Structure 1
Amino acid sequence: MDIDVVVGLQTLLEKVIELHDKYLAYVNNCFMNNTLFHKALKEAFEVFCNKGVAGSSSAELLATFCDNILKKGGSEKSSDEAIEETLERLSSCLLILVIRTFLPNSIVLTVCCRTACRKKLARRLLFDKSANDDHERSILTKLKQQCGGQFTSKMEGMVTDLTLARENQTYFEDYLSNNPNAGPGIDLAVTVLTTGFWPSYKSFDLNLPAEMVKCVEFSGSFTKQKPNTENLRGYTHWGPELFSVSCSQASALLLFNASDRLSYSEILTQLNLTDDDVVRLLHSLSCAKYKILNKEPNTKTISPTDYFEFNSKFTDKMRRIKIPLPPVDEKKKVIEDVDKDRRYAIDASIVRIMKSRKVLGHQQLVMECVEQLGRMFKPDFKAIKKRIEDLITRDYLERDKENANVFRYLA
């Protein structure tokens, strides 16, 4: 991140705090700490903080600012004491101000910031971008004190996962050194993670080339020897970069070991990806800065009628070239994750209420559900009604035969 942007973010967040402190003093001193004025201040800042800045929400700005402090190169000129002081201010002031106080009912709420923070943390941990493990644990401790264990539980699990993964990688390397003929034939690093802790991404069944299949089978058989690792699933989305390309890009390039020329449809079929994923993939390899593949016709867009060949004449002065995939809409994905989390929360609340009451009217069920979930977010009545209908189809509830507005719990 550009240093001017970092300074701008810090200035923006500090100015928000100063502005709040200024008007909070007015409420306390001029208006005798009156609850109505406290409510007015809260509502005013809720509107203010919900307004985006340069297309980003307050939660995204906060997560970006925190990520820059903690990743390698983001705070090289700062001492440990200065970083610790910044993290202290970040947790004690900004999280209370921007998240807990002013965004309780907005789409950009605590869970949204938590999702953004988890994704930033995942990239730092998996791509070895974290500058200091102690600072990572420090900010999680501070966040836990300010926002509760629910906010940090999954992120703490991620840090623990990576610590265990490093130990497992050491055992794996020792095994390879003692059994040189049993290895997969290429350098391999295996990271076993707990699914529930890490951010979820769109899953696709990428058809890996034979070279990678051998690695997956070998690492899977080795890892399953350890306890509690029976259910393993490979994710190529977070796969480490090989020669600065992702697993899906490497899979596409390896197809050209067997064929000199491939059509779009042949690549689509062999990789077993969606059209959107293949378009992004092929665009990065044939239309971006580094043209690893030659495309016919030579245009800047990908079409189902295109053909591709490996660019054998490709050269570059850089020893290590990173070929990024075109970005996906992360903001849309965060909102989808928030909506999914809300659906699960509403379902759980309805089931808890009905399990204890057994029989309950529609209006009373809705109101009790709103009351239960009010501390996390303000659920929409239509959303609750939709979740009730879904639970009926899944045989958790049923309508009373004599009164359609009365529900019965099905054990």
Structure 2
Amino acid sequence: MADKKPIELEEGWASMQRGIDKLIRLLEGETESQFNAEQYMMLYTTIYNMCTQKPPYDYSEHLYQRYREAFNNYINDKVLPALREHRDEVLLRELLSRWNNHKVMVRWLSRFFNYLDRYYVLRHSLHPLKDVGLLCFRDQVYADVKRNARSAVLKLIEREREGELIDKMMLKNILDIFIEVGMGSMDHYERDFEEVLLNETASYYKRKAAEWINEDSCPEYMLKAEDCLRLEEERVDNYLHASTKPKLLREVESELLAKYEQDLLQKEHSGCAALLRDDKTEDLARMYRLFSRITRGLDPIADCFKEHVESEGMKLVKEVAEAVEAKKEKDAGKPSRDSGTSHEQQYVRQVIQLHDKYLSYVSTCFANSSLFHKALKEAFEGFCNKAVAGSTSAELMANFCDNLPKKGGSEKLSDEAIEETLEKVVKLLAYISDKDLFAEFYRKRLARRLLQDKSASDDHERSILTRLKQQCGAQFTSKMEGMVTDLQLAREKQQNFDEWKQRKNKQLPIDLSVTVLTTGFWPTYKSMDLALPGEMVEGIEAFKEFYEAETKHRKLTWVYTQGTAVLKGNFDIKSLELVLSTLQAATLLLFNEAEELSYGEVQERLNLQEEDVTRLLHSLSCAKYQILAKEPAGRTISKNDKFKLNVKFTDRMKRIKVPLPPTDEKKKVIEDVDKDRRYAIDAAIVRTMKSRKVLQHQQLVLEVVQQLSRMFKPDFKLIKKRIEDLISRDYLERDKDNPQLFKYLA
């Protein structure tokens, strides 16, 4: 059988060209029937035969070249002339149509020439046929129209920014061409379109920002900026590539926000300070959202917030100082025990409200940002450590906490409200640098409440101690917790004493109640060797007997200054119950045995120092209740005075409490705290030097400050003084060559 005659190149290509021409007519919309299976197989077979013939009739290489030429011819004859006669949106629509046609042409021709793809292309590591078609389009069509197409796209985007409706789907499809011609790389999209888009965007918003900053208030400007950012994000979602989003938004943020931040924040009637002043929480939240987008954009807002809060706090400090001063002037000449106390209580209440308000700003407007928590902390530290009407905030907070759980306190609150307020005031304590001062004031107040049975609830007392422990550590509250526990044990001890009296059948001339305290827990009280009246001596001896039998190796020391007594006073008009201190009661009982006593006789019989006797006699003869009559009459006590019972004394109440003149407790507290601070500084210096052995002066001071700052802010001069003292006591020594270097002496 004779060999089949090979197909010549031109003969075979003429057949293929007819198929290509038919495809082009279809693409151009001319009247032409679709390819049927027979036509398709004939074209496919022609290529197959021309590629499988024996050399020199294997035309694979020629066909691969002619495949590319078919695209180039079509592009030059039909596509480019059609595109070059259009501009703007019409150009984009034509380009999209030509791109879609091109993809159809690639799909069909690559099928006809499929055998080339499977063998020739693979064997010679050439571009696959689909890529050849795409490269033809990129190198000729895309290269020719990309500038005009980009210009048309950018015009449409600007029109959309100005509020016009545009064909978003068409834009997306056009931009897909910029992406697809990259064949897996974004280079063409980024270089030929995105770079110019970003420059145009910056220019557009630069113009807008320059207009708006002069015309609009800060809130109006921010609304526009937020709207622009939202629309740009939508723009990306609608037709730009996702990778463009951060770059595009960065341009908008830079032009609208970064470049105008100071101008916006400092706008006179609508800037950050004005928004804070007028409680514009929604605008503040928007400001936070917008400026959190730019690097360090929140810093100036946090500074403004801090300044505003501190200024509000200083206003409160000034108001209370003025109110206290006004009250002092009004009360001048009148007896007044605690001028200004109500104003100071109100001050703490207002500080709590201020903290609630701006803490809520931090959570709602500023997304609980640590930057704004820090600003709030620094603002409160700024004014909370200022003197308030001559008192420290530590003292005022201790007084406030004393008033809350007290029976008949000025704060008439439910249990839940007391708990909530306690929690808030303890949170404020975090801002006080002198926490040790608060602790000492509070301990003194707590002792007084407990000993005078002024505490409304043990639960409230324990609750505040739990909160203080969480805030300041166990060491802070250990003594106070001991005091509360002491009171419970003392009640049990009293019950045991009552049972002991029954067992022993002991009848005492007075009802005696004794509170046994542990010395280490309680404040130091003044001890005195009071000569007790006989009525009291018998009761005390009985308790001693009971206590010593029950408790070995413990010594009782009686603190008469903290005791109370109730006496019945038989006056001419009516009998009255008098609630007195133990010392006042002992003084009055002297007048059961003598009708008249001189100052010296009272002092001798009580065995007290002059200052105590003067204070006692003043409270009983010159103050609110004049139970003793003084000769000569007057409002001051002298050593020549004589006293007797004022039998004409009466009062509308049946039971009255006779107060003692207040002592300067504040001075004593401050002295005690100063002493404790010296010990604390000594301990911190020795602790640090023991572990480090040798240390520079500055480093030692810094480490000591760091150790102690949780409880108080140590004074540098005091630390220096304590170092000198420790050197003199041979705990440390100076280096001979470097006086700034210290060594620890074991």
What TM-score comes out, normalization by structure 1 length?
A: 0.81
Alignment-derived partner of residue 320 in structure 1: 655
Deviation per residue, 1:276-295 (Å, 9 max, x gap): 32222111011012212222
2:416 maps to 1:67: no
- Separation in structure 2 between the aligned mates of residue 403 and residue 207 of structure 1, nearest angstrom: 63
- State the 1:222 CA deviation: 1.6
Amino acid at match of 1:263: S
Deviation per residue, 1:43-84 (Å, 9 max, x gap): 4322322345555543334333333332223499754xxx23
- Separation in structure 1 between the aligned mates of residue 594 and residue 346 of structure 2, nearest angstrom: 51
- Separation in structure 1 between the aligned mates of residue 596 and residue 738 of structure 2, nearest angstrom: 63
Alignment-derived partner of residue 262 in structure 1: 597
- Separation in structure 1 between the aligned mates of residue 694 and residue 536 of structure 2, nearest angstrom: 55
Q: Residue 292 of structure 1: which of 606, 623, 627 is its match?
A: 627
2:352 maps to 1:14: yes
2:628 maps to 1:309: no
- Separation in structure 2 between the aligned mates of residue 94 and residue 223 of structure 1, nearest angstrom: 41
2:528 maps to 1:193: no
Deviation per residue, 1:321-366 (Å, 9 max, x gap): 2110011123223222321221221232234345556677766654
**118-127 vs 48-57, greater mean Cα deviation:** 48-57
Q: Residue 479 of structure 2: which of 133, 136, 154 is its match?
A: 154
2:111 maps to 1:111: no
**21-30 vs 124-133, greater mean Cα deviation:** 21-30
Alignment-derived partner of residue 166 in structure 2: none
Residues 232 and 390 (structure 1), Cα distance of their counterparts in 2 relative to 1, 3 Å cut: farther
2:434 maps to 1:96: no
Residues 359 and 180 (structure 1), Cα distance of their counterparts in 2 relative to 1, 3 Å cut: farther
Residues 371 and 133 (structure 1), Cα distance of their counterparts in 2 relative to 1, 3 Å cut: closer
Amino acid at match of 1:17: H
- Separation in structure 2 between the aligned mates of residue 52 and residue 27 of structure 1, nearest angstrom: 31
Structure with bigger gyration radius = 2
Does the Cα contact within 8 Å between 2:690 and 2:744 map onto a contact in 1? no
Alignment-derived partner of residue 505 in structure 2: 180
Deviation per residue, 1:232-267 (Å, 9 max, x gap): 211112113333111111222233344443332343
Does the Cα contact within 8 Å between 1:400 and 1:408 map onto a contact in 2? no
**39-48 vs 192-201, greater mean Cα deviation:** 39-48
Spell out the pairing of 1:243-392 with structure 2 (5 A cutoff).
243=567, 244-356=579-691, 365-388=700-723, 390-391=725-726
Residues 321 and 33 (structure 1), Cα distance of their counterparts in 2 relative to 1, 3 Å cut: closer
Identity over aligned pairs, percent: 56
Does the Cα contact within 8 Å between 1:361 and 1:407 map onto a contact in 2? no
Residues 62 and 169 (structure 1), Cα distance of their counterparts in 2 relative to 1, 3 Å cut: same
- Separation in structure 1 between the aligned mates of residue 717 and residue 665 of structure 2, nearest angstrom: 26
Higher helix share: 2
Does the Cα contact within 8 Å between 2:597 and 2:644 map onto a contact in 1? yes
Deviation per residue, 1:123-170 (Å, 9 max, x gap): 332222222223322332233233322232222111111111111111
Task: Give the match's secondary structure for 1:197.
Answer: coil
Alignment-derived partner of residue 241 in structure 1: 565
Amino acid at match of 2:351: L
- State the 1:303 CA deviation: 1.8
Residues 318 and 22 (structure 1), Cα distance of their counterparts in 2 relative to 1, 3 Å cut: closer
Alignment-derived partner of residue 120 in structure 1: 445
- Separation in structure 2 between the aligned mates of residue 38 and residue 145 of structure 1, nearest angstrom: 19
Amino acid at match of 2:425: L
- Separation in structure 2 between the aligned mates of residue 310 and residue 374 of structure 1, nearest angstrom: 56
- State the 1:172 CA deviation: 0.5
Residues 265 and 72 (structure 1), Cα distance of their counterparts in 2 relative to 1, 3 Å cut: same
Residues 384 and 73 (structure 1), Cα distance of their counterparts in 2 relative to 1, 3 Å cut: same
Task: Indicate the RMSD between aligned Cα atoms, in angstroms.
Answer: 3.7
Residues 354 and 218 (structure 1), Cα distance of their counterparts in 2 relative to 1, 3 Å cut: farther
- Separation in structure 1 between the aligned mates of residue 621 and residue 357 of structure 2, nearest angstrom: 50
- State the 1:15 CA deviation: 2.5
Amino acid at match of 2:475: Q
Give the structure, 1 or 2, with the largest relative contact order (CA under 8 Å, sep 6 or more).
1
Amino acid at match of 1:111: D
Does the Cα contact within 8 Å between 1:115 and 1:334 map onto a contact in 2? yes
Residues 131 and 38 (structure 1), Cα distance of their counterparts in 2 relative to 1, 3 Å cut: closer
Does the Cα contact within 8 Å between 2:628 and 2:646 map onto a contact in 1? yes
- Separation in structure 1 between the aligned mates of residue 393 and residue 382 of structure 2, nearest angstrom: 11
- Separation in structure 1 between the aligned mates of residue 603 and residue 724 of structure 2, nearest angstrom: 39
- Separation in structure 2 between the aligned mates of residue 404 and residue 311 of structure 1, nearest angstrom: 75
What TM-score comes out, normalization by structure 2 length?
A: 0.47
Residues 77 and 145 (structure 1), Cα distance of their counterparts in 2 relative to 1, 3 Å cut: same
- Separation in structure 2 between the aligned mates of residue 361 and residue 53 of structure 1, nearest angstrom: 38
- Separation in structure 2 between the aligned mates of residue 68 and residue 185 of structure 1, nearest angstrom: 36
Residues 25 and 281 (structure 1), Cα distance of their counterparts in 2 relative to 1, 3 Å cut: same
- State the 1:27 CA deviation: 9.7
Residues 210 and 351 (structure 1), Cα distance of their counterparts in 2 relative to 1, 3 Å cut: farther
Amino acid at match of 2:483: M
Alignment-derived partner of residue 209 in structure 1: 533
Residues 307 and 385 (structure 1), Cα distance of their counterparts in 2 relative to 1, 3 Å cut: farther
Alignment: residue pair count? 395
2:383 maps to 1:48: yes
Does the Cα contact within 8 Å between 2:394 and 2:432 map onto a contact in 1? no
| Structure 2: runs of 5 or more not aligned | 1-337, 568-578
Q: Residue 495 of structure 2: which of 151, 170, 176 is its match?
A: 170
Alignment-derived partner of residue 142 in structure 2: none
Task: Give the match's secondary structure for 2:654.
Answer: coil
Alignment-derived partner of residue 130 in structure 1: 455
Deviation per residue, 1:89-133 (Å, 9 max, x gap): 432x33223x21x222xxxx2122222322332233222222222
Alignment-derived partner of residue 82 in structure 2: none
Does the Cα contact within 8 Å between 1:264 and 1:306 map onto a contact in 2? yes
Residues 331 and 20 (structure 1), Cα distance of their counterparts in 2 relative to 1, 3 Å cut: farther
- State the 1:186 CA deviation: 1.9
Does the Cα contact within 8 Å between 1:71 and 1:129 map onto a contact in 2? yes
- Separation in structure 2 between the aligned mates of residue 403 and residue 176 of structure 1, nearest angstrom: 74
